[in-house]
Amino acid sequence: MSKIEDLAERVERLLLRHAELRRTNVLLAQQLESVSAERESLRSRLAAARARIDALLERLPPDAEPRIAAALQTPPTPTPDDEARR
Residue 85, pLDDT score = 63
State how far the Cα of 44 lies from the Cα of 54, in Å rounded to an integer: 15
- Rounded to the nearest integer, the mean pLDDT of the chain is 89
State how far the Cα of 38 lies from the Cα of 25, in Å rounded to an integer: 20
DSSP string over 63-75? THHHHHHHHHHSP
Tell me: pLDDT of 40 over 60: yes
DSSP string over 36-57? HHHHHHHHHHHHHHHHHHHHHH
63 pLDDT band, cuts 50/70/90, is confident
